[in-house]
Amino acid sequence: MTEQNENAEKGSTRTLTVRNMPFDVDNEITEQARAAGKSKSDFVKEFLSASFGDLIGNFMRGNGLVALMDKDVATMMKAALADYWYDSAQTLAENRAWCRLLGIYKEEDLQHIMRNGVPLLELRAAQLPGITHIPHGTSLAFALFIEAARRDLPTLIRVHKELFFLQKEGDFLDMVDQIRQALRLPPTERSVF
């Protein structure tokens, strides 16, 4: 890839040239761009901007503490560390939901969440027994859950509805309360029906 600075009137952008693209990949890009009604250039630009404009995804793939803790979590769970990333299953929309719900705006916020989550990774791992393979980035996903557990009930309900909707709300809050107990926080105040 070669990079050239764009002129100042276009803002802070760069030009990328990709050489030796496999023919089948180029065909896929062409077909998908056509289906989206976009030029190949615009389609690839939007795809790359979405992929590398993802704060959580970038942190997950590039942070040394996440990589180290992923190995530890795999050991705790007696699971193999898979060769793929957690974010292959986690969508950009989910990452944006985490950012919105937990007020994550910059990498430093994620560093803080990750460091604060490390002492409780083993507890979160124990909540999910029977898993045989975990993807890279799992420790950050666990740290995000642990951070959510520190929040108030309305925030937790939104986290459940937007990110953990496949799990029963009561089961979700039970796991949250286990984390809260370890943090010496009061349990969630649930309404009784």
Q: What integer pLDDT is reported at residue 8 of this predicted model?
A: 42
Asked whether residue 59 falls in the same domain as residue 113, the answer is: yes
Domain that holds residue 36: 2-52
Of the candidates 21, 17, 23, 13, which has an alpha carbon nearest to the alpha carbon of residue 2? 17
Q: What is the mean pLDDT of residues 51-69?
A: 89
Q: How far apart are CA 57 and CA 152, in angstroms?
A: 25
Asked whether residue 112 falls in the same domain as residue 149, the answer is: yes
Residue with tokens 């992923």: 70
Helix (H) or strand (E) holding 58: helix 55-62
Indicate the number of domains in the chain.
Answer: 2
The answer to whether position 193 is within a domain reads no
The answer to whether position 109 is within a domain reads yes
The model's confidence at residue 146, banded by pLDDT at 50, 70 and 90, is very high
Q: How far apart are CA 133 and CA 81, in angstroms?
A: 6
Q: What integer pLDDT is reported at residue 6 of this predicted model?
A: 43
pLDDT value at 2 more than 60: no
pLDDT value at 191 more than 80: no
pLDDT per position as a tens digit, 65-108: 999 999 999 999 999 999 887 654 567 789 999 999 999 999 99
Of the candidates 98, 105, 115, which has an alpha carbon nearest to the alpha carbon of residue 162? 98
The model's confidence at residue 53, banded by pLDDT at 50, 70 and 90, is confident
Q: Which residue has the higher pLDDT, 142 or 190?
A: 142
Q: How far apart are CA 30 and CA 36, in angstroms?
A: 10
Q: What is the mean pLDDT of residues 153-163?
A: 97
**Range with lowest mean pLDDT among 14-18, 22-26, 182-186:** 14-18
Asked whether residue 69 falls in the same domain as residue 110, the answer is: yes
Handedness of CA 160, 166, 171, 176 (dihedral sign): negative
Asked whether residue 43 falls in the same domain as residue 102, the answer is: no
Asked whether residue 69 falls in the same domain as residue 123, the answer is: yes
Contacts of 177 (CB under 8 A, 6+ apart): 187, 188
Q: Is 136 in contact with 70 (CB distance < 8 Å)?
A: yes
Q: What is the pTM of this model?
A: 0.79
